[in-house]
Homo-oligomer: A and B are copies of this chain.
Amino acid sequence: MTPRTAAAPRRRGRPGLDLATVLERSVELFIERGFDGTSMEDLARHLGISKSAIYHHVSGKDALLGLALDRALSGLEEAAFEVRSAQVSPAARLELLVGRSVAVLVERLPYVTLLLRVRGNSETERAALARRRQIDRLAAGLVQDAVDSGELRPDADPTRTARLLFGMVNSLTEWLHPGSTPAAGELADAIVAIAFDGLRTP
């Protein structure tokens, strides 16, 4: 599917940006150009402040990446934590994980988008990938439990099924636009309807 091109309005020359704004606008540029393709000079220009004004908040580009990835991961981890303790059947827990993950993705779209682009090129990136793998394992475990409980088809390979299901969830980052996004609940329902009940007319 066709990804959006980043074209955020630029507010140049604003002094005294707070860390939240620096982070938000840096992530815009990381998504547009790639993290490795963005220099501190690029960030300063995009933010309309000096490099030293950025260093006032953080030690550098990598620290901004770490904060951004944590923003995505902490949301997804909270969702996983909630789901793990829900007193419902395994398949219902898996549905809940889809719903909560979509909600985090919509609410923290640029941060999750950035997380999904991380390839392990630095210690910060590798730490983020390790946290992602934990969540992936939970998802595969839920599929396994739901197969064992007889709710899901026995031929559903847990790891592959979890990958495909959350591949569909994560693909939302390719076409959702920040600010003009359908309700997360509606998107989650569409995904659950496809993956759990299938597209075919019964």
Interface of A with B (CB < 8 Å)? 1-3, 5-6, 31-37, 91, 116-121, 129, 132-133, 136, 146, 150-157, 160-168, 170-172, 174-175, 190-191, 193-202
Residues of B contacting A1 in the complex (Cβ-Cβ under 8 angstroms):
132, 136, 162-163, 166-167, 170
Per the bound structure, the CA–CA distance linking A155 and B171 in Å amounts to: 20
**In the complex, are the beta carbons of B129 and A2 less than 8 A apart?**
yes
State which of B33, B151, B199 has its C-beta within 8 Å of the C-beta of A201. B151
Residues of B contacting A163 in the complex (Cβ-Cβ under 8 angstroms):
1, 171, 174-175
- Known A151-B200, A156-B194; further 16 A-B contacts with Cβ < 8 A: A1-B136, A1-B167, A6-B119, A32-B119, A33-B34, A33-B37, A117-B117, A146-B199, A152-B201, A155-B193, A161-B190, A167-B172, A171-B171, A194-B194, A196-B198, A196-B200
Residues of B contacting A165 in the complex (Cβ-Cβ under 8 angstroms):
168, 194, 199
Residues of B contacting A199 in the complex (Cβ-Cβ under 8 angstroms):
146, 152-153, 156, 161, 165, 195-196
Could you name 26 residue pairs across A and B whose Cβ atoms are closer than 8 Å? Answer: A1-B132, A1-B162, A1-B163, A2-B136, A31-B119, A32-B119, A36-B36, A91-B200, A117-B117, A146-B199, A152-B201, A153-B199, A153-B200, A157-B190, A161-B194, A163-B171, A167-B167, A167-B172, A168-B171, A171-B171, A194-B194, A194-B195, A195-B199, A196-B198, A196-B200, A197-B200
